[in-house]
Amino acid sequence: MNNTLELLLNHTSIRSFTNQPLTEGQRDEIFKVANQTSSFSLLQAVSIIRITDKELRKKIMQLSANQPYIEDAAEFWIFCADFNRNHQIAPKIDLEYIEYLLIGSFDAGIMAQNALTAAESMGLGGVYIGGIRLNITELTEILNLPKHVVPLVGLCIGHPAGEKPELKPRLPQSMVMFDNQYQPLDEEKLRTYDEQMREYYRNRPSNAPFTVKKVNGWTDHIEDHLERSRLPFMLEYLNKQGFAQK
């Protein structure tokens, strides 16, 4: 197996960091890799806000369900879909179509993943923070984000502290990848996966995502996760930022 495959197959989120900072060289390399990511029609509709101010970091942690690693990580970067740049270049284009938000969200996601992979390749670790969207209006204000910019996900990066967490099992290939046509849910395979996850969380409760309150299987908390992820204010917020009107 080559080094890239080995790295990717050994991914686990890291939520515990030493206080060692990244070198400027490490930071620059992670940024360069992120910035070289594919971009829809080369629109380059992503900006990263790097949070270096301690007080601001604390405030963002509080707005993001008090996840402590936001403060502990050496680096905390917020990936934003950003059409403000494009809008200034082409002010006549109507950006209210939801497709623009899809474009920016996808570009931000793959850029963040390349940043995380680059960090992991240097022996660093990290975790995404979708929790930054829990109080997105306030976050938008404190980051001074203009219209046509939406913060989508945070990324903690740092030197891992303690043991590397065990790999978190994923759904089997036959439930995720289909030949030619979509396939119905296979209940039996789901039960097998569920048991695998129950076993995993039984041994490693600290690896549960921050929304998982009980150590249980996968299907047990899907409903809970979906419920918590709803964010009913989101459409109004996106409209205010100039997106998703049509």
Ligand X SMILES: Cc1cc2nc3c(=O)[nH]c(=O)nc-3n(C[C@H](O)[C@H](O)[C@H](O)COP(=O)(O)O)c2cc1C
Residue 104 engages ligand X in binding (rule: CB under 6 A): no
| Sheet containing strand 149-158, strands side by side | 46-50, 75-82, 149-158, 125-129
Interface region with ligand X, contact rule CB under 6 A, candidates 34-42, 84-92, 100-108, 128-136: 128-136
Q: How far is the CB of 153 from ligand X (least distance, A)?
A: 5
Q: DSSP letters of 56-114?
A: HHHHHHHHTTT-THHHHSSEEEEEEEE-HHHHHH-TTS-TTSHHHHHHHHHHHHHHHHH
CA 151 → CA 114, 117, 140, distances in Å?
A: 17, 20, 7
From the list 125, 131, 151, 158, which residue makes contact with ligand X (rule: CB under 6 A)? Answer: 131
Interface region with ligand X, contact rule CB under 6 A, candidates 12-20, 99-107, 177-185, 229-237: 12-20
Q: Which of residues 15-34 bind ligand X (CB under 6 A)?
A: 15
Residues in binding contact with ligand X, number by CB under 6 A: 14
Q: How far is the CB of 117 from ligand X (least distance, A)?
A: 12
Residue 12 engages ligand X in binding (rule: CB under 6 A): yes
Residue 153 engages ligand X in binding (rule: CB under 6 A): yes
Long-range contacts (CB closer than 8 Å, 24 or more residues apart) made by 51-58? 51/76, 51/77, 51/78, 56/142
Tell me the Cα Rg of the chain. Answer: 19
From the list 27, 168, 198, 228, which residue makes contact with ligand X (rule: CB under 6 A)? Answer: 168
Q: How far is the CB of 71 from ligand X (least distance, A)?
A: 13
Q: Which residues form the interface with ligand X (CB under 6 A)?
A: 11-13, 15, 67, 127-131, 153, 168, 209-210
